[in-house]
Amino acid sequence: MKAALKIALWLIVGLIVGLIVGSAVTDHFWRSYFTFLKDVQETSFALKAEQQAEAAYFQRSPEIAELELTRLLPYLASPSPVAPLAPSALQFQQFIAHARLAKVQQAQGKQADADQHFQVALTLMRSLPFVDASKANSAADVLTALNTIDNAVKKQH
C-alpha cells in the first residue's frame, strides 16, 4: 500500500511538473509566433507605405506626396526585424524619403520645413559609401543627387 501511495504521489508530482513545463513551452511558442506575425505585418505595412509614397511622389499632387512621404518616415526609423536592411541601404532609403519630402515641401512654398528635411538628407547623403562627402554641401547637391535617382526610377517604370 505504501509503495502504491509513493507511486501515486510521484505520478501526481510528475503530472504537475509536466503541466508547468508544457505550459511554459507552449506559452513561449505562441509568444514567438505572434511576435513573428506582428513583425511580418509591420513589414507589410512598411512596404505598402514605401510603394504609396513613391507612387504619390511621381503621380500625385505635392500635398498628397508630402502626406505619404511623412507616413513613410516612421517605418524607416525602425526597420523590420523580419527583413533587416544593411545600414547603408537603410540610410539610402532614408535619404531618398527626406530629399523627396524636402522637394515637395519646397514646391508648396514650405521652405522652413523643406530646409529641415534637406539638412537631414544632406547628413544622410554624406554618410553613404558611394557619395563623395566633399561634394555634398547644400540643398542643391541633394536635389542633383535626387534628380539622378528619380530619372533612373522613371526609366524602370
Residue 94 and residue 49 in contact, taking contact as beta carbons nearer than 8 Å: no
Instruction: Answer positive or negative: Cα dihedral of 21, 23, 26, 31.
Output: negative
Give the per-residue pLDDT at 116.
Answer: 95
pLDDT band at 119 (very low <50, low <70, confident <90, very high): very high
**Owning domain of residue 57:** 2-156
User: Whole-prediction pTM value?
Assistant: 0.77
100 vs 121: CA distance, rounded Å? 9
Average pLDDT over residues 5-16: 80
**Tally of structural domains, the chain:** 1
Ranges 83-87, 111-115, 126-130, 137-141, most confident: 111-115
Return the CATH number at 71. 1.25.40
**Position 37 pLDDT exceeds 70:** yes
Read off the amino acid at residue 84. P
Say how far apart CA 46 and CA 40 lie, in whole Å: 10
**Cβ contacts of 108-112, under 8 Å, gap ≥ 24:** 108/62, 108/63, 108/66
* Cβ neighbours for 64, distance < 8 A, ≥ 6 positions apart: 56
Distance CA 22, CA 112 (A): 59
